[in-house]
Amino acid sequence: MRKRPIFTVLLTISFLFFIGSVFVPKATMQTQPTLAGRWQIRSTPINDEKVSNKGNTLGFPDRDMHFSEDGGIRTGFVDREDVGTSVHPLGVWRMDGNRFSATFQLWCPDDNFPCGSVVMRGEFVNDNRVRGTMTAFFDVTDTTRPTGYDTWPFAFTGDRIE
């Protein structure tokens, strides 16, 4: 008679381990955050730097940014409604867990304006909010900066626009 209760207990424990291993969420079941979609990105100065060392600025506090993903190709563009509906600087992005980076070209209409690029590095606060830092790299020599070019770092937050 003693073998039956031990057998029942062992069978119950085995069953519970089986149920726990089958129904516990696994990493493959979790969804990765994605930038794909439209975002309202708000920029704020770091250390109250409203322009770069050489006086360059992006001239905006807010931008609509659009990110898309087609297979493994991740692209984006920025609405520049301040200069016209046909101006959309292009970019690319990548993900690493809940962190992302994106790089965009700067719009430069002629030789009177510096060209360059903007690099974003950020993280997801939740599925619909991001935060991080951006740096504008202008094609203007600045020997006081480690890159040798005029740079301008700033912080950003962003919300997904449905």
pLDDT at 16: 63
**Burial of 100: CB neighbours in 10 Å, binned 0-12, 13-18, 19+:** buried
pTM: 0.75
Q: What is the DSSP letter of 28?
A: G
The helix, strand and coil proportions of the chain, stated in percent and rounded to the nearest 5, come to: 15, 45, 40
The per-residue pLDDT string of the chain (162 residues; one tens digit each, 9 = 90 and over) reads 456 777 776 667 776 666 666 665 555 556 789 999 999 999 998 988 889 999 998 877 788 999 999 988 999 999 877 776 777 889 999 999 999 999 999 888 788 888 999 999 999 999 999 999 999 999 999 999 998 999 999 999 999 998
Angstrom CA distances, 126 to 97, 135, 136, 158, stand at: 12, 23, 26, 11
Closest-CA residue to 149 (of 53, 72, 70, 65): 53
pLDDT at 111: 80
pLDDT at 22: 62
Q: What is the DSSP string of 122-153?
A: EEEEETTEEEEEEEEEEEEE-TTSTTSEEEEE
pLDDT at 61: 79
pLDDT at 3: 62
Give the N- to C-terminal CA distance of the chain in Å, as an integer: 66
